[in-house]
Every structure is written in C-alpha cells, then in structure tokens.
Amino acid sequence: MVKQSADSNDASYLFNTGVGFNSQDYLGCHLATNGRATFRVWAPHAKAVAVVGDFNDWQPGALKLMGTTGIWQGQVAAVHVGDLYKFQVTTAAGQVQLKIDPFAQQFERKPGDASQVVQPVAMRWHDSLWLARRKKSHAANRPINIYEVHLGSWQRHSDGRYETYSELATALIPYVKQLGYTHIELMPVMEHLLDASWGYQQMGYFAPTSRFGNREAFLSFVDQCHQANIGVLVDWVPGHFIRNYDALYQYDGTPTFEYADPERANNRRWGAWNFDLGKAQVQSFLISSALYWLEQCHLDGLRVDAVSNMLYCDYDEGREGQVNQYGDNRNLEGITFLKKLNTTILARHPDVLMIAEESSAYPQVTGPVTNGGLGFNYKWNMGWMHDTLDFFMMDPLYRHAHFDLLTFAFVYMFDERFILPFSHDEVVHGKRSLMHKMPGDRYNQFANLRTMLAYMVAFPGKQLNFMGSEWGQFLEWRDWSALEWNDLDDSLNYRMQQFTSQLNLVYRHNRPLWEQDHDPAGIIYTHTDDPESSTMSFIRQAKRKYSFVVAAFNFVPVERQQYRIGVPYQGQYELLLNTEAQAFGGTWTKLETKFTAIDEPYRGQPASFTVTLPAMGALLIRPVKVMRGH
C-alpha cells in the first residue's frame, strides 16, 4: 500500500493519481505555530485563485499554481483559529466565484457557509480499551443492535433550539445504554445547509456539522460513547453532493468533482450532483474523507448511502435505458470505486464496519473483492424489511394467504451479511410510524409491534431500529421537532419502552441470537410451513451444540393452547421472553416459565414440549438442562 509522504511533490502526485488517502493533511488550510497558514486547493482549470477571509479583511490574497498539479498554494500571515475564509476562483471564462474549502474541517453555522480555520486534531482520547476490544472481536460474532438517531430531532430545547454535542452526550448516551443497544448510528453529521435533506446533501466532507457545536465537541461525543461501550456509526454519502454553486459544483468553472457529461452529473432523484467516481482526484478526496472519519474521529464504521445509485447507469429518474460501453447498465466507475474504497479502508482497519444501503439484488455486495464482490461488511436487508412490514400491516384475517412475505427471506438470508433495518425511511413522508402501521385498536397495535420486534431479534442478521420506535411513537418522524417524549406518560408507551429494553437484554445475553447470524448452521426450521395457522417456530443455534433459543410466533389474535414445538433434546427449558407479559402492556398476569421436553418426536425433531402460545404474541425459550446425546 502506498503511504503518503509529507513532501509536497509526493502529496500532490498521490492526490492526482487517486492514492492520496490522507489528502486533508496536504490540501485545505494548515495553520503553523507562528500564525502563518498555508492554503492549498485543487482547481485545475481556474485562471486564478485567491484566498479571502477575516485575516485579510476579505481582500484577495493570491495563490500560485504549482506546475501541472492543478493545485494552487500560498501562505498568509496573522491567521487565527476561528477565522472564516473562502477561496476566490476566477474561471477560464473570467467569472469570479467564492467557493468553500473542500477539505475544511469546520464551517460557520448556517445560514453562512464559510470555512473556518482550525488546528490539527489534538484530541486526548480515552477509548483505548474500546478500540482494543474492537480489534480482538470480529463483528460477525458479536451482537450488533443499532439505535438510529437524527441528532437534530432526537431531543430539543423547549424553545426549539438544537441540543449541543455535549448536551446530547449527557442525555443520549445513558439512554442508549439503558435501552441496551450496542451502537448508535447517526444520520449524516457531515456539514450540510438544508435541514430538510437530513444531512444527505453534504457540503463538508471533513467537517462535523456546526449545528451542534465545533469539531472537538463532536470528537468528545464519540469518545464518551466508547467509554460507555457504545459503538458509533455514521451515514456517509460518496455518490452525490449538494447543488449549491458556492460548494463543489463546477469548482473551477468546469466539472471538477462531478461528471463532465451533464446527464451523468445531474442527480434528479435527490436534487444533487453525482461525483465522477472514475476521476483519480475524486477518489483521493472521498477515500480521504472516509478515512478521516474512521481515523481522526474514531468512528466504528460508515453506512454508505445510496449504493445502488453508484452501481447502475440507469438508476436515476430520466436515465432509463442508459448503458455502459459493454451495453449493460452497470456503472463501471462506481463499481470500481466501491471496491477500491472498501479494500483501502479494511486493509488499514479490518475491525471497522463498512455498511451498504443498497436496494437492488446486485450480487456479492458483502462478498470479498478478490472473488468479484464489492467488499462491504454488511448490507441492509431492504427486501426483508419491506416484506415484514407489509405482512404486519395486513389485517391478521388475511395473513395466512400471504405467509410467503415472511418465508421468502429464508431463501436468501445467507446470500449476504445482512443488517435488518427498521429505519427512518419507513416512518416519514406519509408512511406512518411503526406503531401506526400496525392494524387493530391501540392494544393490538402494541401487541403487533412487540411481536414484530421480537421476530426481528430472532431472525438471522444484525438489527437496526430508528429512534421513537422503541416506545411506539404514534406520530411519524418529523425532522424539525423533537420526538414525542410526553408519550411516555402513557402506560402503554412506557411499557413498550420497557419491553424494548428487556428484548435487547435478552438479545445481548444469548449467543444463539447473534453468534451464527451468517451461517446456515445458525437456524433450524421447525414449524415454518403452516400458513393456515399463522404461526411459526424455529431454533437459533449457537456454536456450542447445546446452546440454542427456541422462537415461537403467533401472528393472529387467537391464543393457541397446547401448541407443540419440536426441539433437539429432552429436558428442562425456561422462558426468556413472553411479549404478552403484563409488564410489557400485554394481558398475561401469570407466565408459563418452565417447560419439559419429552420423548415425542415432532416436525423432524426427536423431542417436543407444549406451550400456550399467546394471541398476537411471541415466546423466546432456552434449554436449562437437557439429556445430552439423545
């Protein structure tokens, strides 16, 4: 692997050849101890470039073009931390434009968009124990239960102001810890101007948004998460960028970061510009950004947004029929870039998570690059999510006729390494909240929601839930206001929150529910072919032979007494969870907690026991003492 040198000629060469993977250490603004700052910016077709800012009363300080590198450089005196600045770019046609610094690590607060002078990261971290544990334990063999958060709307001050990174750390981290999640996934925190984009139309690819505080406050937030044994993932968007003319668009007066072909550059679906992923300098820029967040900010992984948009020539609206030079619809530059991205990152940091948000059936998204795959660690299982939601939104009377919505996922569950997501996209734009999607009266809505979340925990794959779902918020998500925390004054919402906490505890403390998520040996099908009863049971198996969890589900509001479940061994079993327990908002005041499996074969298993399967409910049961070898 090529290591970037501090020598300027080497750094510019590496950037221009697509292997400058720490380019932020060279390009951008670099402040020296004597108050002088060196500014460098890539604008290969510019006629002239200057830097303007607080330090020179916004009067142009000319930069010089460094040979044929396309990089402009200059030094300015009396520069201070916190000074605002921009680059003044004169195009070949003579047009003068003010542009952001693409490598800025901090920006002024919106509505302004000037870059801000910062010192190099000098964070004193306290997460060495967390990072050491992360290196020792492979993610596939760990429980991963993610709480997806939009920082601008998780909680706000009573007057509508944002909470700061520091305030969020004080409130959010203990909450996530109490609820039993293993990771927080932040919707994009890279700097962006438009709140309504939720951060997916990014401007600052190296800068945490100033909405909630400065860069150091964000780093402290991550550090505090790690000290609480909570991982931090962040959504990142390498496919497209904000339309604003003072950002990356036509940076030097010509297509610089975007495709030269205006049709390929224009992203109609999201109102953005597509990066030219085949351009060497863009690859250096984006991979440097990814590594910056993972190395300098200590993130545990990136969820790469809109991967399908980078895989297909015809993915966007209005581009139907577009093909590559071979006559098919693969975006060859995008595919090559994604392989390069994952290969580079995981070679340096094999313990981080690269997660694809990919909505098509593109093969081997999580397959090794050496075998033709894209090299991601995980992929969101969008098919499972849509089918499961469609099933649970249905009136229970008709579920038996659509049981394939649940069972179809059994066919492909091990084709990729999957995360099962109930994400923000499913609770916005009129789609309704998870709880509001559920059929029936309010009691039955909660019963359905508890059963669905228990089904997700039992199904092979890691998990993700969007904020507010943990207590069954009725209103769909609104990015402009806080969650409806007053819901918790209602006993059903409060008990739903207690259920989620207990479900997460059961998940984390029982290895069968996560240890073999990506191995067919991790599941034994016992009763999955009986749509008429609208019930299902299967066994999740750990690596140890006698360590397993029995999961049984009733998808209709009719109690099933003397419901028989086949198991591998005779002996004693105990209840882990009953979704209909009164403590969770159900009707069961007295729980069946002990079960005895007898020598009565059932559905391919040599032993079995009977349970009362609650109406619209689920049971999780584990062996306590079984007859080994029988």
Q: Which residues does the annotation mark as catalytic?
A: 305, 357
Helix axes 442-458, 382-393, angle to 10 degrees: 150
Find, among 141, 136, 215, the residue nearest to 182 by Cα: 141
Task: Please enumerate in sequence order all residues whose Cβ is within 8 A of that of 484, keeping only pairs 6 or more positions apart, or say none.
Answer: 468, 473, 474, 475
d(Cα 148, Cα 142) in Å, to the nearest integer? 18
Identify residue 509 by its one-letter amino acid code. H
Q: Kind of pairing, strands 353-356 and 301-304? A: parallel
CB 426 within 8 A of CB 385: yes
d(Cα 425, Cα 185) in Å, to the nearest integer? 14
DSSP 548-573: EEEEEEE-SSS-EEEEEEEESS-EEE
Q: What is the DSSP code (8-state) at residue 102? A: T
d(Cα 254, Cα 92) in Å, to the nearest integer? 9
d(Cα 73, Cα 64) in Å, to the nearest integer? 5
Buried b (16+ CB within 10 A) or exposed e, 311-346: bbbebbeebeeeeeeeeebebebbbebbbbbbbbbb
d(Cα 146, Cα 228) in Å, to the nearest integer? 15
Q: DSSP 3-state assignment of 343? A: helix
Q: How far apart are the first and last CA of the chain?
A: 54
Residue 271: count of CB within 10 angstroms of its CB = 13
DSSP 218-275: HHHHHHHHHHTT-EEEEEE--SEE---TTTTTTTTSS-SSB-SSHHHHEETTTTEEEB
Residue 561: count of CB within 10 angstroms of its CB = 8
d(Cα 143, Cα 300) in Å, to the nearest integer? 14
d(Cα 573, Cα 553) in Å, to the nearest integer? 17
Q: How many Cα atoms within 13 Å fall on the side-chain side of residue 533?
A: 17
CB 269 within 8 A of CB 314: no
Q: DSSP 3-state assignment of 345? A: helix
The tokens for 84 are: 């605002």
User: Chain-centre distance of CA 454, in angstroms?
Assistant: 21
The tokens for 149 are: 């958060």
Task: Please enumerate in sequence order all residues whose Cβ is within 8 A of that of 304, keeping only pairs 6 or more positions apart, or say none.
Answer: 236, 237, 238, 338, 341, 354, 355, 356, 357, 376
